[in-house]
Amino acid sequence: MIRALLVLLALAAPAAAEEVVAALSQDRVSISTSFDGSEILVFGAVKREAPVPEGGPLGVIVTIAGPDEAVIVRRKDRRFGIWINVEGIDVERAPSFYAVASSLPLGTSLSETEDLRWSISPRRKLRAVGATDMAGDTPAFLEALLRVRQDADLYAVKEETVALRDETLFSAEIALPSDLTEGNYDTRIFLTRDGAVIDVYATSIFVQKVGLERMIYNLAHEQPLIYGLLSLFIAISAGWLASTVFRYILP
């Protein structure tokens, strides 16, 4: 009975005035030994059953979030002449990669309330994660984490980089770095008008190591002892070979 009622309510609900119809240039990324990054083309259109509504300009926002990972953020302080970790926080989950591209400045196309609701900007995305307090000022540590990852090009905001034509067709290119974490990269496309989100489209990109990269990764995680011994053997062999070569070159 409850299920039937939900179905009836869904059928009775009015259709969205504007909907996202989108696709990606690729939904799988393979990481090999020669992988130096990739670019994902996001493109699509706005589907309407009526003329363009009156009001503020239409905004398109694209986000790509890598797999979550646990992070420890610590602050160093100089004590007794040496630098030591004095306090920090444990972040239970933070995106390993996060990119935002928009057709308008975020402040124009997205209200603070909607950003809080959907966790779109990197700052709101980090504030939404779980963090265990070990310090008195958790927001300051999250801001530091945000700064570090932005400097490493792991978090990025590219405003006004989504091309929107006649408030109907849109496209955006988002660069993925070379040091990607394996897993699903959740991709969301938001339509906004007057600062409010009016429709959302969600899909994902699967990133996986292949070839030699896959073999090394599996060996390191599934057979760490063998991986360590093999690494030690390679290091010793390389050192011996280098010393032999220099002995012949420089008698």
pLDDT in tens, 147-172: 989 998 899 999 999 999 988 999 99
Range of the domain at 220: 210-251
Query: In a 10 Å sphere around its CB, with 0-12 CB exposed, 13-18 middle and 19+ buried, how is residue 136 labelled?
Result: exposed
Q: Is 136 found in the same domain as 54?
A: yes
Residue 105 counted as domain residue: yes
Residue 182 counted as domain residue: yes
Task: Tell me if 205 sits within 8 A of 28, measured CB to CB.
Answer: yes
Total domains, the chain: 2
Q: Is 249 found in the same domain as 214?
A: yes
> What are 177-206's pLDDT values in tens digits?
888 888 899 999 999 999 999 999 999 999
Specify the pLDDT at position 66: 93
Task: Tell me if 65 sits within 8 A of 185, measured CB to CB.
Answer: yes
Q: Is 249 found in the same domain as 204?
A: no
Task: Tell me if 73 sits within 8 A of 88, measured CB to CB.
Answer: yes
pTM: 0.74
